[in-house]
Amino acid sequence: MTDFFELFARSFQRPLTNPVLIFSLILFIILLSPIVLRKFRIPGIIGLILSGVLIGPFGFGLLENDSSIKLFSTIGLLYIMFLAGLDLDMNQFKSTGNKSLIFGLFTFILPLSIGFPVCYYVLGFDFMASFLTASMFATHTLVAYPIVSKFGIVKNQAVAITVGGTILTDTLVLIILAIVLNIDKNGSISDEFFIRLIVSLVIFVVIMFFLIPRMVKWFFSKLESEKHSHFIFVLSIMFFAAFLAEIAGLEAIIGSFAAGLVLNKFIPHSSTLMNRLEFIGNALFIPFFLISVGMLLDLTVLVNGYMAVIIALTLTAVAISGKWIAALFTQWVFLFNAKQRRLIFGLSSSHAAATLAIILAGYHAGILDENILNGTIILILITCIVASFVTEIAAKQIVLSEKNHEFDKNTLGMGAEHILLPISKFTNIPALLDFTILIKDQHSHHPISILSVVPNDEQAENNIIKTKNELNNYVIQASSAEVNVDVISTIDYNIAGGIARVSREIFADMIVLGWTEKNVGVIDKFLLTNLSKIIRSVGKTIFICQIEKTWIENKRIFLMTPPYAEMESGFEHWVHKIIKLANELSLPIEHYGDMKTNHAINKLMKKYMLQQKIRFSLFTEWDDFLVLSRNINDEDLIVWVSSRQGFVSYSYSYDLISDKLTKYFKNNNKIAIYPEQNHEHTAEVYGDISSEPITQSIKTIEKIGKGIGGIFKKKDS
């Protein structure tokens, strides 16, 4: 019994050495500190940092800042930068590249220009110490990035600019650090140093942006079904990129951010893989990093003499003011509002990893003294607290302001959006379900409903049980992406009738179907296929998909719209969905259609502040659709917006386009869209004109002629 109590007592001796107990303690802190501080309206990030202060070697001494803590801390920091690269809207990032460059220069030059005179003339540091300390003011760590991620504003232009500027300024500062340390060691800097640095940077860029993408594309294409392997592979790329950056003479965070940029187009933001990456980072590694930042802080320096206090407060004031001025200049140049300025300041004002790396390197080299080191640690605590408060307040204000620019939910069928996914073959469910997840409104409380219609015969009951069991497997696939799915199996004499009936019963406003695999013959056109019956009997938006390859193999969306497409009642709905798909897949859109339709799309994007690169080309020869074939590549995702008979944008020549797409573009991913349409809208457009019966008769005769003509042409050939 005595041995038990001795073992128990030794387990709780400070610092803790039992790895199981250490990990349990950290997990309890990650769990409880945000919950407790939330009641006092304090951001959870601050709670994690302060918890690190309390349990660290300068607090109660429960934990040592040993190699295991440093390992998890490094992983957390790399994860922050990696997710920052993954979360970027690449279309917006490309359009704001120049803005990121300008902000990066502002947030580098202004703090450096303010900090050097203060360090040299006010605090009395020598030239090298002043220059290195001032360069520290130019760095910042995206400690508050999880806050903007939580509020869902990572695609805001201010966030994209700040993240891009972070990479530029940290890269420049780390290059300065390498130069200063080289001068301190050798007394001067040689041409060999610059040659080695440039060559290593070129090799790093070639590997990351030319070789790695090809490797990723091959891996995801060949091992599409190995979902768990995808997660391990992505993490491997992140750490390998960080290692390559260190070899190139840069900081590891530069490599992890570059890995995020490279993988951005391969990992859709609503995908299962993205959900897993964000979950493990936000739940474990990033909180671990924030706790480790707190463990570095030694608050006792404040009572060790007035000089330490003066240096700490001066460095903190210069660091905060320099970043605030940089954010102000950015606001003036790009005409941002005050909320965006505060968001930029909040994200860029926190100093942690890069700052600590510079100061520690200078301290170990003898350039900086202990007062500067301790002052910098206090600076890290204060700036992280300020950044967290400012970022959370600004993020809330931006979210509230953006609600005034949301889509009209009644018009678009969103907010309460309900998608029905009828299936006929189990082999194509994963691809169709992935597509549905990509375009689904994340704010909708309705699940995706997977429907199977079983023929009404003697085996109907057994078939329903069997079908439900098989469909339940796909509920797990969707739940991995935090998307709810329910399974519906029903009996009906007619498949199309069953789908139409269920769509009305559950108030579905969008249906996703699989593409017809074979061309429709002349006789079939009159008997009507199940697909045709569904299109005619259901007036909601219908997406008909044929997914022949993985999404990562697509390089652009080839969008084709008929004249008057903008006059259909479901126009805004499908435009929103295609832009969402393009953003998820980081693909540009090539639009072929009518000038008025293009103007309507641009007007819609401006009205709702949608960010997407769309290139327009006028096309009117729909009777000779194959003229477009010269512009379609194998890597194109073909999207064809059609219409139902009797509505404003319908033409009988469009009925043949689906057949031609199936015949001539077998290897392309294809989507046909039938917008939501109602008879009231048609009546408003056409007034008292009601010539549909006559028109339909003429079109039927023309179809018969074309069908018979095609038969004779085949015989002649």
Which two three-digit tokens encode residue 248?
Answer: 């190139």
**498 within a domain of the structure (yes/no):** no
List pLDDT tens digits, range 578-622: 998 998 888 889 999 999 999 999 998 887 777 787 899 998 888
Q: What count of other Cβ atoms lies within 10 Å of the Cβ of residue 642?
A: 22
**Reported confidence tier of residue 239, pLDDT bands at 50, 70, 90:** very high
Residues 6 or more apart whose CB falls under 8 angstroms from that of 565 comprise 571, 593, 594, 597, 641, 643, 649, 675
pLDDT higher than 90, residue 577:
yes
List pLDDT tens digits, range 278-290: 888 888 888 888 8
Which two three-digit tokens encode residue 392?
Answer: 């959370």
Q: Transcribe 427-458 into DSSP letters.
A: GGHHHHHHHHHHHS-TT--SPEEEEEEEESST
**632 within a domain of the structure (yes/no):** yes
> Which pLDDT score is estimated for 711?
46
Task: Give percent of the chain above pLDDT 90.
Answer: 17
Q: Which of 69-78, 324-333, 705-714 has the highest mean pLDDT?
A: 324-333
- Contact status, residue 254 vs residue 170, Cβ threshold 8 Å: yes
* Burial (0-12, 13-18, 19+ Cβ within 10 Å), 303: exposed
> Which pLDDT score is estimated for 72?
86
**668 within a domain of the structure (yes/no):** yes
**420 within a domain of the structure (yes/no):** no
Q: Cis omega before residue 15 (within 30°)? A: yes
Closest CA to 86 of 347, 289, 263: 263
- The CATH number for 47's domain is 1.20.1530.20
**Reported confidence tier of residue 235, pLDDT bands at 50, 70, 90:** very high
**Which residue has better confidence, 316 or 360?**
316
> Which pLDDT score is estimated for 221?
82
- Provide the mean pLDDT of the chain: 80
**Which residue has better confidence, 596 or 684?**
596
Domain boundary residue, one of 384, 401, 418 = 401
Segment 681-699 shows an average pLDDT of 42
- The CATH number for 570's domain is 3.40.50
pLDDT higher than 50, residue 15:
yes
**Reported confidence tier of residue 685, pLDDT bands at 50, 70, 90:** very low
Taking only Cα atoms into account, the Rg of the chain, rounded to an integer number of angstroms, comes to 30
pLDDT higher than 90, residue 326:
yes
φ, ψ of residue 570 to 5 degrees: the values are -95, 15
**615 within a domain of the structure (yes/no):** yes
Residues 6 or more apart whose CB falls under 8 angstroms from that of 538 comprise 499, 500, 503, 511
List pLDDT tens digits, range 379-425: 888 888 898 889 989 988 888 876 554 444 444 444 578 899 888 76
List pLDDT tens digits, range 28-46: 999 888 788 777 767 677 7
**Which residue has better confidence, 39 or 572?**
572
What HEC string does 600-611 produce? HHHHHHHHCCCC
Segment 153-174 shows an average pLDDT of 80
> Which pLDDT score is estimated for 480?
67
- Count the domains in the chain: 2
Q: Which amino acid is at 529?
A: T
**Which residue has better confidence, 599 or 305?**
599
pLDDT higher than 60, residue 710:
no
Q: Which residue has the tokens 């993988």?
A: 263
Q: Are strands 669-674 and 541-546 parallel, antiparallel or unpaired?
A: antiparallel
Domain boundary residue, one of 359, 383, 401 = 401
**Which residue has better confidence, 641 or 586?**
641
Which residues constitute the domain of residue 587?
Answer: 548-710
What HEC string does 401-413 produce? HHHHHCCCHHHHC
> Which pLDDT score is estimated for 624?
78
> Which pLDDT score is estimated for 305?
66
Closest CA to 287 of 46, 14, 21: 46
φ, ψ of residue 638 to 5 degrees: the values are -85, 125
Distance, first Cα to last Cα, the chain: 98
Segment 165-180 shows an average pLDDT of 78
**Reported confidence tier of residue 477, pLDDT bands at 50, 70, 90:** low
pTM: 0.73
- Contact status, residue 479 vs residue 272, Cβ threshold 8 Å: no
pLDDT higher than 90, residue 366:
no
Domain boundary residue, one of 339, 367, 401 = 401
> Which pLDDT score is estimated for 419?
92
List pLDDT tens digits, range 643-661: 888 888 888 777 778 778 8
* Least reliable range by pLDDT among 25-39, 78-92, 563-577: 78-92
Residues 234, 251: Cα–Cα separation, whole Å: 20
> Which pLDDT score is estimated for 13?
79
pLDDT higher than 90, residue 429:
no
> Where does 614-695 show beta strands of DSSP type E?
614-618, 636-641, 669-674
pLDDT higher than 50, residue 684:
no
**248 within a domain of the structure (yes/no):** yes
Q: Which residue has the tokens 């995020």?
A: 260
**480 within a domain of the structure (yes/no):** no
**Reported confidence tier of residue 541, pLDDT bands at 50, 70, 90:** very high
